């Protein structure tokens, strides 16, 4: 998965429509431990990519702090006919 960084103005509304990363991960923890090895590896990859996304944001000049944890969003992939995920960080105002 390729990561891209974007600069855009403050987003103040509709954060409740996004899933915080910790809530997304918790849904797997709530499955009574019935998580396949493939899913475990995918979850590790998502966590690592969220760290990489934050480092990319800082590399692009973002020096703010953010509230909570990264939020996930999903976009369709034209290449794989599946969905790709991305991260957005809510900055402390």
Alpha-carbon distance values, 64 to 28, 60, 83, 90, 93 (Å): 30, 12, 29, 10, 9
The pair of structure tokens assigned to 88 is 């957005």
Decide if 5 is inside a domain.
Answer: no
> Coil, strand or helix: which one is 87?
strand
**Phi, psi of 83, deg, nearest 5:** -110, 145
Query: How many domains does the chain contain in total?
Result: 1
Query: The domain containing residue 33 runs over which residues?
Result: 21-88
Decide if 13 is inside a domain.
Answer: no
Decide if 93 is inside a domain.
Answer: no
pLDDT (tens place) for every residue of the chain, 93 residues total:
677 787 777 888 888 899 999 998 888 766 666 677 777 788 889 999 999 988 888 888 877 777 778 899 998 988 888 888 899 888 766
Decide if 68 is inside a domain.
Answer: yes
Decide if 32 is inside a domain.
Answer: yes
Decide if 48 is inside a domain.
Answer: yes
Look up the pTM and report it: 0.74
- Which residues, at least 6 apart from 68, have a Cβ–Cβ distance to it below 8 Å? 20, 22, 90
Decide if 69 is inside a domain.
Answer: yes
- Give the span between the Cα atoms of 56 and 37, in whole angstroms: 28
Decide if 15 is inside a domain.
Answer: no
């Amino acid at each position: 998965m390729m990561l891209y960084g974007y600069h855009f103005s403050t987003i103040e509304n509709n954060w409740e429509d996004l899933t915080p990363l910790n809530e997304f991960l918790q849904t797997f923890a709530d499955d009574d431990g019935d998580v396949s090895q493939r899913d475990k590896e995918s979850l590790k990859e998502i966590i690592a990519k969220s760290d990489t996304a934050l480092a990319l944001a800082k590399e692009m000049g973002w020096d703010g702090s953010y509230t909570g944890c990264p939020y996930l969003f999903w976009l369709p992939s034209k290449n794989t006919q599946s969905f790709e995920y991305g991260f957005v960080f809510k900055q402390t105002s």
